[in-house]
Structure 1
Amino acid sequence: MSTPPARRAAPETWAVPASWAALLATAAMAWVLTVRSSSGMAPGPGTMGLNLWGFLTLWGLMMAAMMLPAVTPVVALYLRTLRAHATGWTRAGRSTSLVVGYLCAWEAFGLAAFGAAWAAGELAARAPSAAPWVGALLLAGAGLYQVTPLKDRCLSHCRSPVGFLMHFGGYSGRLRDLRVGFYHGAYCVGCCWGLMAVLIVAGVMNLAWMAGLAVAVFLEKTWRHGKAFSLVLGVALIGYACFVPWNPSLIPGLYVPPTMSM
């Protein structure tokens, strides 16, 4: 007697919801660890006293917290493509490799973020009068990037990654899923690097800005009005930049309060 259809379908039925739950739980844990790591650290310029490895560790936690909710639809789609190639725990392992590869792309970007944060700290300390203007230009640049064709291309890839999932069929070997994740992560970096530059300007450990940007990334990538939202966000960043030169405290990542500079 053949296996009842409902029994065969059960593993497939639960695979996608389980992947969503696992990723969201991981993101929640990353938020908890990030908040604990920031305990006693006020948002400010520089790398918060962290060396490169400490910064990259914290950056990895931050990216897991901010980005994993937005990547859950991609992982779910990837699981569906794996049905013909893997079963059971093999699917879970391969989708995990995809997520690891994705985070590796953001960790690589963390090297640039470390350099930018260090430069921001130096600028705030050595040229406090120029720092607000630089910050305003960076915010305006991030806003302008929101309306560029490159942003639109990367965002379209993140919103509809069918093409890259078809491309992965040409990959082979044990590292194929890591390569797919890194490939998608590179597009995500291309989509969101401007918003991460905003995070540097706002202060690396600025939890309020982290939460706001995480919501913005999620809406850009998953909401049906995500492209329009991206344009509105760009205009908002440009508008915010206009107030910065006359109120430097709006950008803690490039501002040293008088009490700290004494």
Structure 2
Amino acid sequence: MKHFLRFMASFFLATLSYADIHHEINNAHLLLYQGQYAQAEEAYTNLFTPAQNEFIVGSVLVDTLHINRAIARLLQHKIGAAKEDIEAAFHPQSSLMYDDSGYMLRALLRLMQKETQGALEDYAQLIKNSEKGMANGYRFASAKAQRGWAHLVLGDASASREDFLSAIATDTTMLGMDMNPLQKPFWQAIVAEVIPLVESKNTVAIQHAIDTILEKQRIKEYPFSPAVDINQKNFANTILLYEIYDVIKKTGC
């Protein structure tokens, strides 16, 4: 119980602290979405020092910046530099962070390099690890969705559907609060509207279907809108950063 209370206290403190620099972090994300990958990498790098100076949650922010910068570097095919951030993701500074992102990022790198077996092994380990620890329901669902995207990119509609349905069926609430209320409706739409297109191997149609879902559910809009609160931006960025831009953009679907 003591560890759980510490986790929740740190979680809410992290949210408050993140609010202080969220505009700069969100702006770095926007550079990524606009295809300005080098500028996004530089922006993430410049945020390491202010993140380190944040009270209590500085290490969480630093760990997250390593993950974000890895994405920016992979998008530029800066493999060596990306591996440095991936290694950092395997050894997070914060005790509140897990090595989930290390496996996720390395799996994505392996997909890029056509090392399918190695990528699937990383996803399997990611899923296994996510079954334990804090927020394990949310982490497990996210891990299943990550592998669902990989199967989608690899053209295995059946396996992709199975993973997404498993993610949707998983209880992701914590103290009665959904950890990311945007994800399950998004995954449901992927199952209904995108996966049926996989066997056609029509990447243009698949990308169009994904973009249409993002527009309908306003996921692309949230990070750019000043009227949207921080949580909605964060929820949307989780999808755009760790699902869409990770898998679809880097693996060529």
**How high is the TM-score relative to the length of structure 1?**
0.31
TM-score, structure 2 normalization: 0.32
Larger Rg: 1
* Structure that is richer in helix per residue: 1
Larger RCO, structures 1/2 (Cα 8 Å, 6+ apart): 1
